[in-house]
Structure 1
């Protein structure tokens, strides 16, 4: 499933999920040999969506692979093909013709084929999961390098006039909303046409008019309405509105929630009330599914997160599926969404490279477009743990901030720094995230106190003293089942000790606005026997999850649950 609700009631759609022909191309000869024209034999079959690394004998494969699927069209039709996520880079071919290229593994891309003839057609996708110094993420990244078509492929049948986009913005004054609907109507017709346009909210008529669209042109139609006494979306109180835009032969459904997000006096406010964030970092990853994360497991993750007492989740470290965001919308849980710039080992030459910067801006734009209407998202994050002490980082950050504000000025813009006492970016952001691992990578847990004292003074000196600060990563590894009489490294006991002491320090600091524990579940790491990095990852996993990779609770889960629930009742 793509969403928890139906996005089209009139437009005909179908999923191309299921078995696809599949072949690896380790020597990268497919383009030269024109595999897009004549698919090689013999072929395997692979299920889409999936990650090929979860199959037998492909665990370590990173590189090029080809997919093929036959599609059948009963009558000549305008067709829209939507790839909801393909890891790395993708070239798409239909009947040997190149439809286009997309870079970036976690956001959708599409192709429109006007008047596709009736009959069978061969759809071929060349994917490349190779990471290098200019990909995002780069080759040195602290999660497993999966490959594949990881989210659904969708085929839609379009009429001559169709809704290309429905975008909804609003301004709140108390519980009164000035709502702006932008409906983009596109024509695939050879003649000028007039169509009826209607808007509905939960089935109730809001607006109706006629719109003229010239042949093969696009029209943006804007509708402004004032709504009084709207139900406000809030943490634990998920009030949602379903909006349907209809043409005579097409429709588009979006869902929104009304809420106001602000910062004041180093606090985050939702609908004028301050909130302390109680969260975890979550990779959308599972050892049996990789990044092709099924809805059933999303429900389980959500239940565990709620059981723990969380009111927020950080999406580490890439745009996560719309289905997951729908669940958070429906349950009143806040979300931090970011693009996959993981920078602990990111060289300055990469940060200053124009291609890398261009890719980062494109990813930011695609993430915002993809998730624009989710009320659960209150943060757009532009990078994680890059070297924020350099002029190159400053320049790239300015560009990303400008791009983000152009696309959406209704949310807070943030990042996570691993250099809080030397960072030169602090005043640029709405919210500052700090990643530090006292008790694991450096010193003991008590080191957080002195570090935060120094940080707050430095932030004040830089004019950033009122900016909310969130502890976005902290914790330590604990091997599931390894317990003893006293805390020791890699035991569940030691992991629980780190988190208990750290959370107490953070909650007693009046300038800390929230916590995101690293991390929700153990995840596969990119551990290679001939590599120099991540060699502390026992079992080839990042074992800092408070549940293991199969979602079994560790001692730290029970401690965090106790603490987060006590905070709800005002206790420490």
Structure 2
């Protein structure tokens, strides 16, 4: 079975030749990153940890390292990730079977190849979200799809009142004698529908939804769960399992009349939210995320723009639960350069794939104030059209 092990405690943090023990989440800009002068420390530092032996297929998962990350195992470079706001995974199975040392180098130095390069917020340096070990079987829901679960659930209206869930899942090592099962579970824990599919690299399946209850924003943020399983077709033993929450909803935007959720006009009243706190920087915990949700709800908002980058998956979960409508976006901001086009697209694909199943998200933002440091030109327009097509 899949096993997720959080390994936030007891990392050796080395900056400018000095080493101390820290727990994650952590940033070295907790204090100097908020004085409004942009004079905060922009450099690189390393987080190190010894991992015990394991004979399991194991991936290292970093939920957020800003803004460029290098991962070394036993001093060997095994991964580079450019972009400080999305998750990424590294297969360390060949190393951890003997026990190994992991070094994660975070770098928030100015870098013209990675968005953002200019903005009115702090580019905090550090490993500021959770780090996990994920143990998985050989035959599994993919671990190699831009940090996502590799399962994409799309609610669709069928006829006037019916709904179904269209499921696409990606499988690693699909040539085993296993099958996949997808089960719809309502908010009370009742199984409502189930379907079984033969394993192949890409599986398509559908689940009908009887007596559907819609995810209806602040009125009724009703959530279903889709239990996704891979099981041995002979013994019925479940070997991989992921539960994904989803909601039934549809929306459209009319240029004259505004936003509509499930056919009902809603006036969007919202705020913009950054992921930091005084004397903590961006190394905040679930407690601060929940406090921010409460503040947003207390002012009467029904929507939130998550400025200007992918935020913690836990915060999207809270938005799903509370019925907040979410504008999610990538940090393509202030200053355009064609040399960053590939990085911008990578961050957009990661944002969408890692957050596809959140019913609260209604918009993928592809840029913000991109002409602050220059005027619109043909290259910029061509680039934005491409990003729109990707989204």
TM-score (norm 1): 0.60
Task: Classify 1:250/1:205 alpha carbon distance in 2 versus 1 (closer, same or farther; 3 Å).
Answer: farther
State the match for 2:19 in structure 1: 43
Matches within 5 A, 1:146-545: 146-164=124-142, 165-173=150-158, 174-187=160-173, 192-202=175-185, 204=191, 206-209=193-196, 211-212=198-199, 219-236=201-218, 237-247=220-230, 248-264=238-254, 265-343=256-334, 346=335, 351-353=336-338, 355-387=339-371, 389-404=376-391
Cα distance in 2 for partners of 1:383, 1:117 equals 40
Cα distance in 2 for partners of 1:42, 1:229 equals 61
Cα distance in 2 for partners of 1:171, 1:210 equals 20
Give the RMSD, CA atoms, in angstroms: 2.3
Q: 1:63 aligns with which of 39, 43, 47?
A: 43
State the match for 1:121 in structure 2: 100
Q: 1:102 aligns with which of 78, 81, 90?
A: 81
Cα distance in 1 for partners of 2:94, 2:77 equals 17
Task: Classify 1:64/1:238 alpha carbon distance in 2 versus 1 (closer, same or farther; 3 Å).
Answer: same
Provide the secondary structure at the position in 2 that maps to 1:290.
coil
Task: Classify 1:293/1:175 alpha carbon distance in 2 versus 1 (closer, same or farther; 3 Å).
Answer: farther
State the match for 1:89 in structure 2: 68
Task: Classify 1:88/1:108 alpha carbon distance in 2 versus 1 (closer, same or farther; 3 Å).
Answer: same
How far did 1:288 drift? Answer: 2.2
How far did 1:180 drift? Answer: 1.3
Q: Is the 8 A contact 2:63 2:88 kept in 1?
A: yes
Cα distance in 2 for partners of 1:116, 1:206 equals 41
Q: Is the 8 A contact 1:196 1:208 kept in 2?
A: no
Cα distance in 2 for partners of 1:57, 1:306 equals 27
* Larger helix share, 1 or 2: 1
Gaps of 5+ in 2: 143-149, 231-237
Task: Classify 1:266/1:87 alpha carbon distance in 2 versus 1 (closer, same or farther; 3 Å).
Answer: same
How far did 1:225 drift? Answer: 2.9
Provide the secondary structure at the position in 2 that maps to 1:193.
coil
Deviates more, 1:297-306 or 1:384-393: 384-393
Cα distance in 2 for partners of 1:212, 1:275 equals 42
Matches within 5 A, 1:5-16: 10-16=1-7
Q: Is the 8 A contact 2:183 2:195 kept in 1?
A: no
Q: Is the 8 A contact 2:74 2:102 kept in 1?
A: yes
Cα distance in 1 for partners of 2:332, 2:70 equals 23
CA offsets 1:313-359 (integer angstroms, 9 cap, x no match)? 1111111111111111101111111111221xx2xxxx242x31111
Gaps of 5+ in 1: 1-9, 26-40, 214-218, 405-572
Q: Is the 8 A contact 1:64 1:129 kept in 2?
A: yes
State the match for 2:119 in structure 1: 141
How far did 1:133 drift? Answer: 3.7
Cα distance in 2 for partners of 1:19, 1:194 equals 41
Larger of the two Rg values belongs to structure: 1
Task: Classify 1:300/1:210 alpha carbon distance in 2 versus 1 (closer, same or farther; 3 Å).
Answer: closer
State the match for 1:24 in structure 2: 15
How far did 1:305 drift? Answer: 1.4
Q: Is the 8 A contact 1:170 1:177 kept in 2?
A: yes
How far did 1:365 drift? Answer: 0.5
How far did 1:118 drift? Answer: 3.7
* Larger strand share, 1 or 2: 2
Cα distance in 1 for partners of 2:89, 2:161 equals 37
How far did 1:172 drift? Answer: 1.5
Q: Is the 8 A contact 1:175 1:231 kept in 2?
A: no
Provide the secondary structure at the position in 1 that maps to 2:99.
strand
Q: Is the 8 A contact 2:31 2:280 kept in 1?
A: no
Cα distance in 2 for partners of 1:118, 1:132 equals 36
